[in-house]
Amino acid sequence: MTWMIQLVFVAVVAVPIYFLIRRIKQIRRNILLGKDLDRSDRSGDRWKAMMLIAFGQKKMFKKPIPAFLHLLIYVGFLVINLEVLEFLIDGLFGTHRIFAPYLGAFYNVAMNIFECLALGVLISCIAFLIRRNVIKVSRFTKPEMKGWPAMDGNLILIIECVLMMAILKMNAADQVLQSRGVAGYVDTGHLMISSLMIPIFEHFSDGFLIFTERAAWWFHIIGIFTFAVYVTYSKHLHIFLAFPNTYYSNLAPKGKIQNMDAVTKEVKSMLGMPVEGGSEPPTEVGTFGAKDASDLSWKSLMEAYSCTECGRCTTECPANQTGKLLSPRKIMMDTRDRIEEIGAGQGEGKSLLGDFITKEEINACTSCNACTEACPINIDPLSIILEMKRYVAMEESGSPASWNSMFSNIETNFAPWKFSPTDRFNWAQDLNDKN
């Protein structure tokens, strides 16, 4: 009988792992559909950014209360899942709490830490559910959060609550069985949190308690691996992608806009300046800017998958605050949806610009970088907006007339205003005449 249970366990673990690996490969392929971008420089600064921002959650603590609750969930996720290692060993070898006899008092300490964190995660998830659905924090009620995005956030929080309750329920039934000396249930010592639930279970029969404990154990195993697969389709993919995303952050000063290499080379060539890589024209004329998701860099596509949909970027956006259509969060969500379509071979005849994101949205952007500064994991919506603006201006000549006039003035007069460069300091001459 034991070997049959072990076989079922292997199947329960192997199936979601198969789908998880397949999904990871799909996401990787989709990200690599983007254009090449070199982010291999300054490795020391990149490691520092990753440790401070992704691991240390530095930006989250601009708002201490939600940051603390998020930290509880984050630490709980990392630490509690260490217990899954014991679950896996027990499932594979047909044992029960295999580490308990060997670790002794340390096992009891570890289990109490796990339970305290489980309680913290439970409280935090309930608090976040209240913020989303009762208090209705404004950034969670924006138009792009209707339907599936709102349901996704709630679903993850509910799943985490249920998983934490399963752990505590399993431990409570286990302790009752230990106290009765039931075979196979080794002494774990007193567990502070789950022991509060013992009065609920102590009047039930051994058979019912064993069923309850085993059901909770299986539920947790199935839940963890199902959750792992589900996360890859959810905004909570940032749990994993936050680390590479912050490592490959743009380390240039905020506000510095990267010139287009093709244009830079052309200008240098016209001015007789040395051009890196030679002055030979490219074998294939490229597209200026980006019309579709595949025209963006791989880093922009990684950012789309990394987006937490927290809405801090949209909250800080001055265009959005003044009622414009622009929402940096929507830009990232639309980019992710579009690259998913492209990766699946769907959406032929559609494009990111026009079918997902409108010109009105990107034209509202002031390039202030408030969205990038606000993002907890250094996502840069401006880079996507800028590439689409470049496409509209240089490929479609579709910028607003006032912008085209400004571009023309900059080209001919070296300033946005329509007057000769020789007249630029006339205002100072007027001051001298008055003096």
Measured in residues, the chain has a length of 435
| 50, 243 Cβ separation under 8 angstroms | yes
- Running DSSP on this structure, what letter comes out for residue 63? S
pLDDT greater than 90 at residue 424: no
Instruction: Give the pLDDT band of residue 422 (cuts 50, 70, 90).
Output: confident
Nearest one of 238, 381, 386 to 316, comparing CA atoms: 381
Give me the mean pLDDT over the 128-150 stretch: 93
Residues in CB range of 370: below 8 A, 6 or more apart: 313, 316, 317, 318
Block residue for tokens 């913290």: 120
Based on its alpha-carbon atoms, the radius of gyration of the chain, rounded to whole angstroms, reads 28
Q: How far apart are CA 341 and CA 129, in angstroms?
A: 31
pLDDT (0 to 100) of residue 8: 86
What Å distances lie between residue 61 and 40, 249, 376, CA to CA?
29, 19, 9
Nearest one of 226, 370, 245 to 307, comparing CA atoms: 245
Question: What distance lies between CA 165 and its chain's CA centroid?
Answer: 26
pLDDT (0 to 100) of residue 319: 97
Lowest mean pLDDT among 248-252, 269-273, 391-395: 269-273
pLDDT greater than 80 at residue 313: yes
Give me the mean pLDDT over the 387-402 stretch: 90
pLDDT in tens, 169-226: 999 999 999 999 998 899 999 999 999 999 999 899 999 999 999 999 999 899 889 9
**pTM for this predicted structure:** 0.88
pLDDT (0 to 100) of residue 277: 62
pLDDT greater than 60 at residue 29: yes
> What percent of the chain has a predicted confidence (pLDDT) above 70?
96
Residue 207 in tokens: 């058979």
pLDDT greater than 90 at residue 119: yes
- Running DSSP on this structure, what letter comes out for residue 291? S
pLDDT greater than 60 at residue 288: yes
Q: Where are the domains of the chain?
A: 2-31+63-247, 261-277+286-422
> What percent of the chain has a predicted confidence (pLDDT) above 90?
66
CATH class of 261-277+286-422: mainly alpha
pLDDT (0 to 100) of residue 362: 96
- Running DSSP on this structure, what letter comes out for residue 414? S
pLDDT (0 to 100) of residue 434: 65
**Mean pLDDT of the residues in the chain:** 90
Phi and psi at residue 193, in whole multiples of 5°?
-80, -55
Q: How far apart are CA 329 and CA 314, in angstroms?
A: 6
